[in-house]
Amino acid sequence: MEIIVAVDENYGIGKDGDLLAHLSPDLKRLKAMTVGNIIVMGSKTYMSFPKRPLSDRQNLVITHSPEKYPEVTCFTSVEDFLKYADTADKPIFVLGGETVYRQLLPYCSKAHVTKILHSFEADTYFPNLDESTEWERSNEGEVIDTEKYPFKYVEYIRK
């Protein structure tokens, strides 16, 4: 399983149920990485999408209230999701938000982190992998400066 996340300089990821910034190349990259595959997310992240489910990929939602999301496959616990993940025949990407990242990080081998070089007000966060003894940087891209905020792609792998 792999994680995809966009963080700001303080590892903030969201505010009031939305992303901190909508960076078009980053969202396109997320689509390219996930189309044809499986994505898993918490109900709050799922509900934050203007159009849902996300097209051309299998959307899995973790929630205590699966009856609210009849159009997607839901799991009422991380344990149930992990049992399903063991049998999946396609790559699974964890799409957040904070609660789901924290619960599924131990089961992930790679993290694709978009680092936005800006400091936002945030109410949800991702763990700082640079401070973790379990993760190391495996790749770091150049700064991309075509959008409102500069950003770069950094990849981490589990040691």
Ligand X SMILES: NC(=O)c1ccc[n+]([C@@H]2O[C@H](COP(=O)([O-])OP(=O)(O)OC[C@H]3O[C@@H](n4cnc5c(N)ncnc54)[C@H](OP(=O)(O)O)[C@@H]3O)[C@@H](O)[C@H]2O)c1
Identity (one letter) of the amino acid at 142? E
CA distance 50 to 53: 9
CB-CB contact of 38 with 92 (8 Å): yes
- Tokens (6 digits) for 89: 């025949």
Distance of closest approach, residue 121 Cβ to ligand X, in angstroms: 12
Q: How far is the CB of 149 from ligand X (least distance, A)?
A: 13
Q: Which is nearer to ligand X, 58 or 103 (CB)?
A: 103
Using CB under 6 A as the criterion, which residues of the chain lie in contact with ligand X when the complex forms?
5-6, 13-14, 17-19, 41-45, 48, 62-65, 76-78, 95-100, 103, 124
**E strand or H helix that includes residue 58:** strand 58-62
Reduced to 3 states (helix: H, G, I; strand: E, B; else coil), residue 129 is: helix
Rounded to a whole number of angstroms, the minimum distance from the CB of residue 137 to ligand X is 18
Q: Which of 57/89 has CB closer to ligand X?
A: 57
Cβ proximity to ligand X: between 100 and 154 the closer is 100
112/138 with CB nearer ligand X: 112
Q: Least distance from C-beta 105 to ligand X, angstroms?
A: 12
CB 75 within 8 A of CB 60: yes
Rounded CA-CA distance 40/92 in Å is: 7
